[in-house]
Amino acid sequence: MRLAIDAMGGDHAPDEIVKGAMLAAKEYPEIEFILVGDENKIKPIVGDHPQFEILHTTEKIEGTDSPVKAVRKKKQASMVLAINEVKEGHADAIISAGNTGALMTAGLFGVGRIKGIDRPGLAPTLPTLKESKGFLLVDAGSNMDAKPEHLLQYAIMGSIYSEKVLNIASPRVGLLNVGEEPGKGNELCKQTYKLLQAAPIHFIGNVESRDLLDGIADVVVCDGFSGNLVLKTMEGTGMSLFSLLKEKLTGSFFTKVIAGLLYPKLRGIKKQMDYSTYGGACLFGLRAPVIKAHGSSKASAIQSSIRQAKRFVDKNVVEMIEKKVQEIDIESIKEDYGE
Amino acid sequence: MRLAIDAMGGDHAPDEIVKGAMLAAKEYPEIEFILVGDENKIKPIVGDHPQFEILHTTEKIEGTDSPVKAVRKKKQASMVLAINEVKEGHADAIISAGNTGALMTAGLFGVGRIKGIDRPGLAPTLPTLKESKGFLLVDAGSNMDAKPEHLLQYAIMGSIYSEKVLNIASPRVGLLNVGEEPGKGNELCKQTYKLLQAAPIHFIGNVESRDLLDGIADVVVCDGFSGNLVLKTMEGTGMSLFSLLKEKLTGSFFTKVIAGLLYPKLRGIKKQMDYSTYGGACLFGLRAPVIKAHGSSKASAIQSSIRQAKRFVDKNVVEMIEKKVQEIDIESIKEDYGE
């Protein structure tokens, strides 16, 4: 297996990205890595390691760049060249911790869609607090004006990925909604509910956003606008609460001393909320695994993303999605429901 | 001023509802209260208090009832009769801590819409952590498939309410979105952004859900589906974190003892997150103030809702909304933007 890595994307690039790849290289001697980025910075870290090849470039896409423009204009950017490696068949998958929008754009145009998939969906694994297996959210921000068919495709892709890559037998797929009863929500939800009921998945019905952290479903399906709102509300609420907690607990000398004794516990909770430990977000629906590692990824998070990419490739998830999606006759499902 | 109160709605009805009204009666000797509910239970609490009148009924709408069906069939329910008091001009406003959906339905059909308002919007005040003034979220779940014009109307109503009832000069109105830059989000957001730019409000642009608790805006406008998702994600994340915190901190005898010393601080944070202290949620766009107190309201929360209703009536907010909405020529705004 050959893996292309955008060595220049993310807050701690290239050092932590390269170090993460080296950790993974030790774990998987069968993987060959193509590190795309500044050779002058990468070479001193990898040396002459036989599993590594460097594709030199100094151009990079910044986090603040406008995605579509950046992909179009920066043709020598590390992310774009890494995607090209997959496009030209030199690599089986690609990982980047860079600009999410740019990766979605470059992935869509460079790698291309799986036949039968209309729109790619971004799928991070978010934390659950009671059990630590997390849940997959599709779509977390790729497809803003999704249609019911897109959500059906997300449900199928999420279900296959969850089973094959995350090892969850018969993953529970839930539709993100504002109430549990069928018939709740907006038109998109009402139509999607019917499609999911008829789909070859373990559909458990509507799930509410307040129950997500409790692990109510393994795969949660929604349009990209809603998914992104929920993702950022969770992050924001968690961070605001932690900062308030810190402020209150260090308000007086007395509480400060006591709180100091509890810090290891608080750090533990914060770590449990940190979804970068679950690996990167997958861009579902493309002809090869495209994985977006968290922007703040350090070596161990990159290593997790590489494990994820390896299983993604080994289990033939892309082929399975292609096959399953083509078996489904959306028009006949719609007819069944009198659409 | 005369105020109709659904004495049988909410988890602590009728006792806490009636006690709340009695606290408010002392504060405002000029308000006359119509308590709608079971006289046998209400009379022993209010006695012969001159500000109170009891409208007896034993029927009530349950929290689990289907809203539309319940309003249609339970014609003698306390909530329906309370709405009727407003409809028939016997009361200036109504408060209920009962079934939210039923109150929206009964309010819409009983009280009716303000001329120029297409769809009512539910507007709770949610907590902010740094300053304690909170922010208004419109719509939090009334209008699932909102159109840009509806969001414009919410922005105008929220702005007037925020200024007149909450005493915020030139309230900052933000559009809930997945990014700050103009042009972000789904079609609804893109169209709404243009309308809000041209509206007679202090529009501050897109706001992200992760910044809401920090008080980034005074009024946050969105469709009812998104608003409800965000509201429940905040609640869910907060509650999950508190329960995890409790679990971790009471895991060993050592931390249990220490944590005990910090409990007053933790309770303080929990209280700060409890949005029932900000009063009830308003149902904007109806011809009289309809206020939904939180289901778990105790006497002091009911008292806050009554204060809110009083200002709502005293400041002529309904008339101001009607006037402002009619001044706005949505069609000409749309033409300006080449729609």
Amino acid symbol at B327:
E
> B264 and B125: one domain?
yes
State yes or no: pLDDT of B337 exceeds 70: no
* Residue of A216, A220, A232 to mutate when probing chain B, most B C-beta within 10 A: A232
Strand-pairing partners, residue A205, are A174
Inter-chain CB pairs, A–B, below 8 Å: 149
Mean pLDDT over A89-98 rounds to: 97
Per-residue tokens: A296: 């703040």
Same domain flag for B132 and B268: yes
A233 touches chain B (CB under 8 A): yes
Nearest Cα to A306, choosing from A105, A104, A16, A12? A16
From chain B, pick out residues whose CB is under 8 angstroms from the CB of A214. 236, 240
Residues A260, A293 share a domain: no
pLDDT digits 0-9 by tens, A137-191 = 999 999 999 999 999 999 999 999 999 999 999 999 999 999 999 999 999 999 9
Could you say which residues from 261 to 300 on chain B have a Cβ atom under 8 Å away from some Cβ of chain A? 261-262, 265-266, 268-269, 272-273
Q: Tell me which residue in B141, B186, B210 faces A145 most closely, judged by beta carbons.
A: B186
Distance from CA of residue A41 to its chain's centroid? Answer: 27
Query: Which backbone phi and psi does B95 adopt, to 5 degrees?
Result: -125, 135
Mean pLDDT check: name the lowest of A181-185, B22-26, B201-205, B288-292.
A181-185
% chain A with pLDDT above 90: 80
Chain A residues near residue B147 by CB distance under 8 angstroms: none
pLDDT at B336: 65
Please give the Cα distance from B10 to B14 (Å, whole number): 8
Looking at the whole model, is its pTM more than 0.95? no
Tell me: pLDDT of A246 over 90: no
**A244/B141 CB distance under 8 A:** no
Residue A177's closest CA among B233, B189, B103, B99?
Answer: B233
Bond prior to A14 in cis (omega within 30° of 0): yes
3-state SS record for chain A: CEEEEECCCCCCCCHHHHHHHHHHHHHCCCCEEEEEECHHHHHHHHCCCCCEEEEECCCCCCCCCCHHHHHHHCCCCHHHHHHHHHHCCCCCEEEECCCHHHHHHHHHHHCCECCCCCCCEEECEECCCCCCCCEEEECCCCCCCCCHHHHHHHHHHHHHHHHHCCCCCCCEEEEEECCCCCCCCCHHHHHHHHHHHHCCCEEEEEEEHHHHHHCCCCEEECCHHHHHHHHHHHHHHHHHHHHHHHHHHCCCHHHHHHHHHHHHHHHHHHHHHCHHHHCCEEEECECCCEEECCCCCCHHHHHHHHHHHHHHHHCCHHHHHHHHHHHCCHHHHHHHCCC
**Which among B178, B187, B248 is the nearest to A268, CB-wise?**
B248
**Residue B260's pLDDT band (boundaries 50, 70, 90)?**
confident
Q: Considering only CB atoms, which chain B residues are within 8 Å of A259?
A: 262
- CB atoms B244 and A272 under 8 Å: yes
Last residue of a domain, one of B221, B246, B277: B277
Average pLDDT, chain A: 92
Higher pLDDT, A244 or B9: B9
* pLDDT value at A337 more than 70: no
How far from chain centre, in Å, is Cα B298? 16
Question: Which A residues, 67 through 126, put their C-beta within 8 Å of a C-beta on chain B?
Answer: none
* pLDDT tops 80 at residue B201: yes
Instruction: Tell whether the model's pLDDT for residue A331 goes beyond 80.
Output: no
The reply to whether residue A265 touches residue B255, judged by beta carbons under 8 angstroms, is yes
Contact B236 A210 (CB under 8 A): yes
Cβ–Cβ below 8 Å for B210 and A239: yes
Closest approach of B289 to chain A, Cα-based (Å): 25
Residues of chain B contacting residue A224, judged by C-beta atoms under 8 Å apart? 178
**Residue A259, pLDDT above cutoff 60:** yes
For residues B305 and B233, membership in a common domain is answered with: no
The sign of the dihedral angle between the CA atoms of B185, B186, B190, B195 is negative
State which residue of chain A sits closest to B238, comparing Cα positions: A237
| ipTM of the prediction | 0.92
Cβ-Cβ contacts under 8 Å for A80 (sequence gap 6 or more): A61, A71, A74, A106, A110
Are B263 and B172 within one domain? yes
Whole-number average pLDDT of chain B:
92
- The yes-or-no verdict on residue B339 having pLDDT over 70 is no
Rounded average pLDDT over A300-307: 95
CB A50 within 8 A of CB A26: no
Do A229 and A255 lie in one domain? The reply is yes
Tracing tokens 């990167």 back to the chain, one arrives at A280
R_g of chain B, CA atoms, integer Å? 21
CB atoms within 10 A of CB A186: 21
Task: Report the distance separating Cα A188 and Cα A221, nearest Å.
Answer: 12
Q: For residue B178, what are its two tokens?
A: 């997945």
> Last residue of a domain, which of B228, B252, B277?
B277
Q: What is the pLDDT of residues B181-197, one digit of tens each?
A: 999 999 999 999 999 99
Q: What percent of chain B stands above pLDDT 70?
A: 95
Tens digits of residue pLDDT in A2-24: 999 999 999 999 999 999 999 99
CA distance A333 to chain B (A): 24
pLDDT of res. B154: 98
Full strand arrangement of the beta sheet holding B125-126: B125-126, B135-138, B219-221, B172-177, B202-208
Nearest CA in chain B to A131: B244
**Nearest alpha carbon to residue A194 among A337, A5, A39:** A337
Over residues A75-98, the mean pLDDT reads: 98
Q: Are residues A96 and A148 in the same domain?
A: no
**Region A109-114: what's the mean pLDDT?**
95
Query: Is B191 an interface residue toward A (CB < 8 Å)?
Result: no
**Nearest of B278, B279, B306 to residue B28 by alpha carbon:** B306
pLDDT of B237 > 70? The answer is: yes
B214, closest residue in chain A (CA to CA): A240
> B26: distance to nearest CA of chain A, Å?
35
What is the number of other CB atoms lying within 10 angstroms of the CB of residue B75? 11
Backbone angles phi, psi at B43, to 5 degrees: -55, -45
Q: Are residues A168 and A254 in the same domain?
A: yes
CATH number at residue B80: 3.40.718.10
Within 13 Å and on the Cβ side, how many CA atoms surround A159?
Answer: 24
- Separation of alpha carbons B29 and B289, rounded Å: 20
Q: How many domains does chain A have?
A: 2
Say whether both A68 and A138 belong to one domain.
Answer: no
Q: Which amino acid is at A261?
A: L
| A127/A107 same-domain check | no
Q: Indicate whether B84 belongs to any domain.
A: yes
Residue B270 and residue B143 share a domain:
yes
Among A307-311, A332-336, B14-18, B63-67, the least confident range: A332-336
Does the distance separating the beta carbons of A255 and B178 come in below 8 Å? no
Portion 131-150 of A in contact with B at CB < 8 A: 141, 144-145
Interface probe for B, chosen from A147, A210, A252, A255 (most Cβ of B below 10 Å), is A210
Its domain, for residue B290, covers 1-117+285-316
Same domain, yes or no: B138 and B59 = no
What integer is the mean pLDDT of B43-47?
97
Q: Which residues of B touch A192 (CB under 8 A)?
A: none
pLDDT at site A155: 98
B265 falls in which pLDDT band (50, 70, 90)? confident
In a domain, A337, yes or no: no
- Asked whether residue A330 is assigned to any structural domain, the reply reads no
Identify the closest residue of chain B to A66 by CA–CA distance. B181
